[in-house]
Structures are given as C-alpha cells and as structure tokens.
Amino acid sequence: MATTDLATCQQLYDQQLAKQRGVQRLTATLVMKNVIDDRPLPE
C-alpha cells in the first residue's frame, strides 16, 4: 500500500484493514526510503 504520510498509513491500517471480516492479525513493515524516483503510483 502507499499513503501520503505515516498518519494516513496508520489510519488505513486501524480503520480499514484491521476491521475486515476474517482478519485476526495484521503485520506490517515500513520502508522509509525511495526505491524508484519519479515513478507514478498505479491506479
């Protein structure tokens, strides 16, 4: 997933992903660097 900032990422994680039916546990790893510069995000 890609978000505009860390707060939005946390909100998505807490309010959307964790509340999906059948989800018992979530694990996330954050990568805090640019892997590819100047590439648009997929739609």
- What pTM was estimated for this model as a whole? 0.57
DSSP state at residue 34:
-
Average pLDDT value for residue range 14-35: 85
- The percent of residues above 90 in pLDDT, for the chain, comes to 16
Find the helix or strand (DSSP H, E) in which 9 lies: helix 6-12
Span 10-23, pLDDT tens digits: 999 889 888 999 99
DSSP state at residue 40:
P
Which carries the bigger pLDDT value, residue 10 or residue 3? 10
